[in-house]
């Protein structure tokens, strides 16, 4: 099997699982308990927090453990918007993940925020002039993702955060797909909030982190015992926090990983464009995630190609895992200006840090055969 659906989820790194095991078994204490068993759990939790903070280059007190990317996006966006009454205007983009789109939609419907949804060009990029036009005196929050999960386009987050700060708006970025591939250090990005999901980087599903800048007030989503300094009540999942810190530390250094994998991706892309009639690459040609290559296949059903690829041992998806199985065209491709028919032909290949040249050659050959099989029906 060639697994090229790592943007949907990754296998759990055995090292992370081994690190988590004691905290699921003999070290089962509640980190809020004052006895020694509880205190050991609390120490493990704080150690995991400090290790993740080192990796993100932020303070440990700014790391909040959550159940994953969706919760981190919800907490950052809703929490910042409701706690900072300076204005009721939010800016985001049409190509964001549903975790961001639906959260902002909720704030618009229920809390009467006004939202500007930035358009993107054919490559998924946002024009700086559109961003500047959208920024207002009463803009309270901007939420823009670092790397798009379907087409891989990378936004210039550090620049957009700097512009947002000039009007006093807080800036959140969904870095769920970027982590481990791009520079996600807070010191580089300059953002006020950032979302990570464990299962995209070798930790278990249901683990995640929200980075929330210390000086900003955040209205919690979950109310209760006041864990996570009151920002996320509920007994912490110590084992998953330890697994997440361990998985994160096992990630390769992005500065070396980015050019190495980008080269593999570009060779694979060239092979697909050469051998598959009607194939075109989606997303930005240069500012893109090194491990995501997504194509439209003119006149061919993406879903039918997925099945043919699976018969040949290659696992991929049509776009986001959420859209898989539905007949809805991708909202990302529609925002890029693709017509519905072309948007339904999308096939996304997403790599792991272990993906090899040979596997990609196998996948390109399988795609060519799969398209031929579907065309002949």
The footprint of ligand PLP (CB under 6 A) covers 68-70, 73, 97, 99, 145, 149, 174, 176-177, 197, 199, 208, 321
Q: Could you say which DSSP state residue 122 is in?
A: T
Cα separation, 363 vs 212, whole angstroms: 40
Smallest gap from Cβ 288 to ligand PLP, in A, equals: 14
Closest-CB residue for ligand PLP? 69
Smallest gap from Cβ 202 to ligand PLP, in A, equals: 13
**Catalytic residue at 322?**
yes
Tokens 């092979």 -> residue? 271
Residue of 58, 296, 322, 336 marked catalytic: 322
Smallest gap from Cβ 48 to ligand PLP, in A, equals: 17
Smallest gap from Cβ 250 to ligand PLP, in A, equals: 18
Of the CA atoms within 13 Å of residue 255, those in its CB half-sphere come to 2
H helix intervals, the chain: 14-20, 36-56, 69-83, 98-111, 128-134, 157-166, 186-189, 238-249, 254-275, 302-311, 331-335, 340-343, 357-375
- SS3 helix, strand, coil % of the chain, rounded to 5? 45, 15, 40
Cα separation, 258 vs 279, whole angstroms: 25
**Sign of torsion over alpha carbons 70, 73, 77, 78:** positive
Contact 346, 295 (CB under 8 A): yes
Cα separation, 30 vs 218, whole angstroms: 25
Q: Which is nearer to ligand PLP, 155 or 366 (CB)?
A: 155
Q: Which is nearer to ligand PLP, 29 or 291 (CB)?
A: 291
What does 289-340 look like in DSSP terms, one character per residue?
-TTEEEEEETTS-HHHHHHHHHHTTEE-BSS-TTTTTS-PPPHHHHHTT--H
Smallest gap from Cβ 31 to ligand PLP, in A, equals: 22
Beta strands 170-174 and 208-212 are: unpaired
Residue 251 token pair: 């990630």
Q: Which is nearer to ligand PLP, 171 or 364 (CB)?
A: 171
Cα separation, 57 vs 137, whole angstroms: 30
Smallest gap from Cβ 241 to ligand PLP, in A, equals: 15
Q: Which is nearer to ligand PLP, 42 or 92 (CB)?
A: 92
Q: How far apart are the first and last CA of the chain?
A: 25
Smallest gap from Cβ 258 to ligand PLP, in A, equals: 18
Residue 159 token pair: 């620049």
Q: Which is nearer to ligand PLP, 193 or 371 (CB)?
A: 193
Smallest gap from Cβ 66 to ligand PLP, in A, equals: 9
Cα separation, 376 vs 247, whole angstroms: 44
Q: Which is nearer to ligand PLP, 292 or 374 (CB)?
A: 292
Cα separation, 377 vs 372, whole angstroms: 9
Q: Which is nearer to ligand PLP, 139 or 350 (CB)?
A: 350
Q: Which is nearer to ligand PLP, 176 or 279 (CB)?
A: 176
List active site positions.
322
């Amino acid at each position: 099997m060639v697994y090229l659906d790592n943007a949907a989820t990754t296998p759990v790194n055995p090292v992370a699982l081994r690190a988590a095991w004691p905290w699921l078994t003999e070290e089962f204490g509640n980190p809020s308990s004052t006895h020694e068993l509880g205190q050991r759990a609390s120490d493990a939790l704080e150690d995991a927090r400090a290790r993740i903070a080192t990796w993100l280059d932020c303070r440990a007190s700014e790391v909040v453990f959550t159940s994953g990317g969706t919760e981190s996006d919800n907490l950052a966006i809703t929490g910042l918007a409701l706690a900072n009454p300076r204005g009721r205007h939010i800016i985001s983009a049409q190509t964001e993940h549903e975790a961001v789109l639906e959260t902002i939609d909720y704030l618009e419907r229920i809390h009467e925020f006004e939202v500007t949804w930035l358009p993107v060009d054919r490559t998924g990029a946002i024009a700086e002039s559109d961003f500047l036009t959208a920024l207002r005196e009463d803009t309270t929050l901007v939420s823009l993702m670092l790397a798009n999960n379907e087409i891989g386009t990378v936004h210039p987050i550090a620049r957009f955060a700097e512009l947002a700060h000039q009007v006093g708006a807080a800036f959140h970025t969904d870095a769920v797909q970027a982590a481990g591939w791009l520079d996600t250090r807070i010191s580089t990005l300059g953002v006020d909030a950032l979302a990570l999901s464990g299962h995209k980087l070798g930790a278990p599903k249901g683990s995640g982190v929200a980075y929330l800048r210390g000086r900003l007030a955040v209205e919690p989503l979950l109310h209760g015992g006041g864990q996570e300094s009151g920002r996320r009540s509920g007994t912490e999942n110590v084992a998953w926090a330890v697994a997440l810190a361990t998985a994160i530390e096992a990630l390769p250094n992005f500065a070396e990983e980015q050019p190495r994998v980008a080269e593999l991706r570009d060779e694979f892309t060239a092979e697909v464009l050469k051998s598959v009639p009607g194939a075109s690459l989606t997303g930005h040609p240069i500012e893109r995630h090194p491990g995501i290559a997504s194509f439209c296949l003119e006149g061919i059903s993406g879903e039918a190609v997925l099945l043919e690829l699976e018969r040949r041992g290659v696992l991929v998806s049509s776009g986001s895992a959420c859209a898989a199985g539905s007949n809805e065209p991708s909202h990302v491709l529609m925002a890029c200006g693709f017509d519905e028919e072309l948007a339904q032909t999308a096939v996304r290949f997403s790599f792991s840090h272990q993906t090899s040249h040979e596997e990609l050659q196998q996948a390109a050959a399988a795609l060519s055969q799969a398209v031929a099989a579907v065309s002949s029906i």
